[in-house]
Structure 1
């Protein structure tokens, strides 16, 4: 039954995401294909209004009801008749026609097919079906499916296996590289609990390209510090607090750390989007996020922020995670191009396709305005950046900032093969001083670190060592000297194999 529950959940999710079309008659049936069981289940909507009637009218469902010992009916009631969240209609209505939703729907069509109607990935048809279901007093999955246009919808679960196998393949080389090389050595003092030696403050900073002030979390060393500045950029639908642990390691070693809250793609934006108040982040955010960082540096230089601190804003380090890591690459001189986006986004069977391509492909219309380098950026740490389709790897030699790329061996969202190893190898980035560190066992979110954790952030020392070296500080820890590993032997510099 657990497997059946998974199949039905996949069906409900896929149907709610992937179907689109113009005016047509209501959906007549859907088919769930289970190739590994050499069977398929057909449900004809005309055979009944309730879950009980659908089971009685379907020999396939009757067999499953008997095989499950009567447990199928309660499950179907839960899947099909549970009311959809009130925000669902508002979310779809607010997202209709937005590139991020369109890319999500396009990706979902790899698993879901619809017959008898032309596909439309704008999301408009989904919203209209929900409205009709509500009017009929059926604001649930079953009512929603009845209102979809077309003749037959089907989900082939073997395609889910194909997607999973492709993602697994895209991780295999990273796993092999990390296992083939010696892990970084450990400096025991860097793994001990931090002694709070910094102040914490949240401020609002006005920036010219945003309608409202930008929230910024600031960590300042209590003593004089080294007067050096690090900016940490969060990822999509995240916030500064998810990376405060990184900042604490840096602040404990003399750095002033600023963590801006990117208002167009942060956690609050996600909440507003789910409530239907705003659309998903648009392609313009690709340009606005780096501008957030540059405007923050301008505010410090003009002493509108941290007046009298005498911070060096001519040589700054930027650190980012996920979309925030992409932001750091733009600031360091990475020029987004549209050639790969145009060539590869439509190919659902591309061998390197991964979850992050939904986001990357949504940037297409904003790419030509997204070259927003900041010459003050001299050091970059990019943790799990979606980058394969955005940058072509050229002109690395002209970038003043050296890049440390960090990737987890279990990152299914931004897998290391296409998003880290291939770009580094093809661009010959290592010859130009850039480096790649793999973290064994890390996924896309496990490297984040929050305020006051019992042990320092896992990647805190390697970030610190890289920035010390690139900003040419006279510090005990540098990347080249090592000592930035962890007790588990997870961090491995694989650059020599690229």
Structure 2
């Protein structure tokens, strides 16, 4: 089982709150003083494409949806999930998921109009025992209440907030596109098609070795894959620029091998550590009952420390194996999602508990799901919150979660070059609320905001993602190769300039380059300047 598939169930459930769903026998909701009831059989018939003649209320509502939207809803309702009840129960009992269900339970209530979180959890576990897998309709059939009550006011309030975020995202994308065009017009004219295509592999071959880092005082051991360019053999002292890649929650180092190989082909040594306690193995341990949590809050401290321990180990290897050829005095860090937080933290941004306290009073379901993760930091003691390592020289953060846990004051302490990459269709860490807003808080001289339109959060996703989230499957499959190529090119250019000190790559770090390689289906924008006041004007 993969966390993305489980998130698929949750996202699908959320999408259905916009539609009269089903219950053990019926769904009830009130509009003013009038109460409506829709039988589950009607929704099941709709999923199978049957005539809804006897379910006129449901048919009338569905006629408000476009044909395309109706077909997508049918796909969601028909999708089957095959997980054991033991795995499902372990996952749903983890603190972060329990908090998520509690907010959903305010909207999907029991017949007596109490919070439906416990009933929903019971229904999911019971449905998972069905042979051949279960559907969302099966879940509501197992709901331990004669009917499921939809709090229509809370549902509409939640959907209104989502609608505002959608409008804000559209406005911000437009503003960044316009700003990128303005920056491109002021840049020197470059024929990028006469330059090497950084989306393609570089001239060097690479080798891979794996080593283990031990931290005895923390009882923490983890493996690191190290990709070495062929230029290592002929390099001189401090000649080989070095990077570290930090994976996201429930991911692992293997998923970043393509990117690591790409960077190594341009002469970088690239280390990719596994972060125990927040990796794919942690998910497996949760599902098997060997762990009680998908994420250990201590990881907010352990992950940045992992980066420093990797650098310590590389310094030892540099003397014993590599004849001092690795340059470990100015190292680049690339991180995705939670790995983006890790990169920013090790660059000098401390945990901002005041900001967390202000943002984490989650009385209703937030439109920024990453808060469920960031707010776990409030479980930590408020000591030793700074993790900066002076060997870190540049940061590339892809879809980072950071707005509350680091906040404006934390990010302002970073003085190294930073590139922030955002995706306009990021549902887990929305671009407007996370990456774009936090970019305006950066004060470093060299900063870059990259926005990928029509792209999602799952940079390191494989084919399983499209199976897990049918609503977004075609988008993920289509965009993956194109938008990952954007990251390949820009990461090479960014680290060549700011870690390898090769100024001839600076022309790639322009708005004009992003425009030149942009695919019309997935437009790419790069800007160097966006202030908080400029962003606020767009959001008004």
Q: Is residue 205–residue 216 contact of structure 1 (8 Å, CA) maintained in 2? A: yes
2:149 corresponds to which of 148, 153, 164: 153
Check conservation: 2:412, 2:443, Cα contact below 8 A: no
Residue 299 (structure 1) aligned with residue 313 (structure 2): yes
Aligned: 1:418 with 2:436:
no
- Residue in structure 2 matched with residue 457 of structure 1 by the alignment: 485
Structure 1: gaps spanning 5 or more residues: 1-8, 18-26, 46-50, 53-58, 69-74
Match of 2:380 in 1: 366
- Name the structure 2 match of 1:493: 526
The 2-side partners of 1:465 and 1:413 are apart by 28
For residues 474-489 of structure 1, what are the structure 2 equivalents within 5 Å?
Answer: 474-478=502-506, 482=510, 485=514, 487-488=517-518
SS in 2 for 1:458: helix
Shift of 1:381: 0.7
Determine the structure 2 residue equivalent to 1:169. 167
C-alpha contact (below 8 Å) 2:494/2:509 kept by paired residues: no
Match of 1:111 among 107, 112, 121: 107
What root-mean-square deviation, in Å, do the aligned CA atoms of Structure 1 and Structure 2 show? 4.6
Aligned to 2:49: none
Contact 1:333–1:371 (CA<8 Å) still a contact in 2? yes
Within the candidate set 89, 92, 101, 1:92 is matched to: 89
The answer to whether residue 403 in structure 2 is matched with residue 405 in structure 1 is no
SS at match of 2:409: coil
Superimposed CA distance per residue, residues 430-484 of structure 1 (whole angstroms, 9 cap, x where no aligned partner): 564333222233322258799xx89983212322222233336135213686475
Contact 1:265/1:285 (8 A) holds in 2: yes
Q: Greater relative contact order: 1 or 2 (C-alpha under 8 angstroms, separation 6 or more)?
A: 1
Confirm or deny: 8 A CA contact 1:229 1:316 kept in the other structure: yes
> Secondary structure at 2:263's aligned position in 1?
helix
Matches for 1:242-391 after TM superposition, within 5 Å: 242-278=255-291, 279-303=293-317, 307-310=321-324, 311-347=326-362, 353-366=367-380, 368=382, 370-391=385-406
TM-score norm. by structure 1 comes to: 0.73
Partner SS for 2:245? strand
Deviation at 1:266, TM superposition (A): 1.9
Q: Which residue of 1 aligns with 2:6?
A: none
1:287/1:366 contact within 8 Å kept: no
Deviations 1:119-155 (A, max 9, x none): 496x6x76677788999x9x97769866747985336
Which structure's residues are more often helix, by fraction?
2
What displacement does 1:322 show? 0.8
Counterpart residue number, 1:203: 211
How far apart in 1 are the matches of 2:359 and 2:30? 29
Contact 1:209–1:288 at 8 Å: present in 2 too?
no
Could you tell me which runs of 5 or more consecutive residues in structure 2 were left unpaired when the two chains were aligned: 1-8, 18-22, 46-51, 63-72, 185-189, 464-480, 532-540
Supply the distance in 1 between the matched residues of 2:264 and 2:105 (Cα, whole angstroms): 47
Q: Contact conserved, 1:239 with 1:267, CA < 8 A, in 2?
A: yes
Instruction: For residue 319 of structure 1, report the CA deviation from its aligned partner.
Output: 0.5
Q: Any residues of structure 2 matched to 1:24-35 within 5 Å, and which?
A: 31-33=27-29
Give me the whole-angstrom Cα distance separating, in 1, the residues matched to 2:330 and 2:347: 12
SS in 2 for 1:287: helix
Change (3 A) 1:456 1:446: closer
* 1:196-223 CA-partner distances (Å, limit 9, x unpaired): 5111233333333665632222210112
1:72 is matched with: none
Distance across 2 between alignment mates of 1:386 and 1:477: 28
Task: Tell me: CA distance 1:495–1:445, structure 2 relative to 1, closer, same or farther (3 Å).
Answer: same
Distance 1:246 1:112, change over 3 A: same
Structure 1 residue matching 2:425: 3-state secondary structure? coil
How many Å apart are 1:329 and its aligned residue?
Answer: 0.7
Which residue number in structure 1 is paired with residue 227 of structure 2?
Answer: 219
Cα deviation per residue 1:184-203 (whole Å; 9 max; x = unaligned)? 76444323444551112333
